Chains A and B, each alone.
Chain A
């Protein structure tokens, strides 16, 4: 009597279990995945309307900070090469202007040498002159050594000298002019830093634990300001400033130039997005 009953109970339990499993499977299958990762490419329109220009002239920068890198030359070189490959504008190869000297000339009343007539591509453009009576930076004392942002500030008046930039524009047949300031300076700091530390327990299992340690670090700070000038009018069309820094362990010896390029690498897409349309790749989650 007990035997068959036990058998029936066991069969019933199996049936219920199978039914539950089947229902669960059906439920999971019905629900499926409710989200899907999908790669997207967002087209970004340029911030500036560059359609009136066929050519771009990266003329030079007022640069300061460390002496280990000539930030003026390096920035011009880097931006020109990026624009050559990633923009539709033709890049003008001209001598890089020593804008610090030019700004100082202008502040001291400038040389009135107007003999710099239009020159072809590859030749030096005119130095600042005040022949047109335009003297916006005159009378302002400009620091000889640019070590920080405060030293750079008085030089910014140079970009408001529309007569000067118009003259350069005429020289190169009205291109879009790219100029600005670049501060690339040493930076050192100390404090607590969170780092991942690898440990092994008694069974040899690896664990990674976040640890706060006091560290002295040194590195560099890069603070460029890109100024876009309309070569037809000499007026500033747009400007944008950025700040990036990189810090290493104080014992680590990283060349200044490689740090400069590492920092510029982070900024170049932003610079290019001012002039040309870009596609930014990313991933998003689609939901059901």
Chain B
């Protein structure tokens, strides 16, 4: 009887969790899309806010980290941009577009590093 009750509770919890997770992903995606939309209109700060929110809602969303990195790059926050790119690559290491963005970013970042070549 007890086992059955535990099973029922677990099933209910699982069923409740699946839609919640799906909703979170959907919400994160809509934040990312909104961010892209406003970035295309030059509203980078709003875009960064949206992408930050997306990464909070779904911390496994590689594209959100990629977009956030671009936003930080545009704002000159290069340390934050590097961390966001690295997170995006950690989540999706085979994404060639993220890698390309990161390579281009590194070229700029290297220029700013104080070094005597």
Residues of A within 8 A of B (CB): 35-36, 38, 40-45, 47, 238-243, 270, 273, 280, 282, 284-288
Contact = CB atoms under 8 A, between A and B. Distances in A.
A44 B110 CA distance: 11
Contacts of B114: 47, 238
A44 B112 contact: yes
B88 to A, nearest CB: 9
Contact of A288 (B33, B76, B78, B117): B33
B70 A286 contact: yes
A241 to B, nearest CB: 5
Q: Among the interface residues A44, A47, A284, which one has the most CB atoms of the partner chain B within 10 A?
A: A284
Interface in B21-66: 29, 32-33, 36, 39-40, 62-63, 66
A287 B101 CA distance: 11
What secondary structure prevails in chain B residues at the interface with A?
helix
Nearest to A270: B111
Q: Which 4 A-B pairs have the closest CB atoms?
A: A287-B63, A43-B76, A40-B74, A284-B70
A129 B23 CA distance: 77
Contacts of A286: 36, 39, 66-67, 70
B100 interface: yes
B76 A241 contact: no
Contacts, number: 68
Contacts of B62: 287
B74 A288 contact: no
Contacts of A238: 114
Contacts of B97: 35, 285, 287
B39 A38 contact: yes
Nearest to B115: A240
Contacts of A36: 36, 40
Interface string B2-30: 00000000000000000000000000010
Interface residues of B, number: 30
A282 B102 CA distance: 12
Contacts of A242: 117
A42 B70 CA distance: 9
Given A243-B117, A286-B39, 13 more contacts: A38-B40, A40-B70, A40-B74, A42-B108, A43-B76, A240-B115, A241-B116, A241-B117, A287-B32, A287-B63, A287-B95, A288-B32, A288-B33
Contacts of B95: 287
12 contacts: A36-B36, A43-B76, A45-B112, A240-B115, A243-B117, A273-B112, A282-B108, A285-B101, A286-B36, A286-B39, A286-B70, A288-B32
A287 B32 CA distance: 8
Contacts of B108: 42, 44, 280, 282
A44 B116 contact: no
A287 B117 contact: no
B73 A42 contact: yes
B70 A239 contact: no
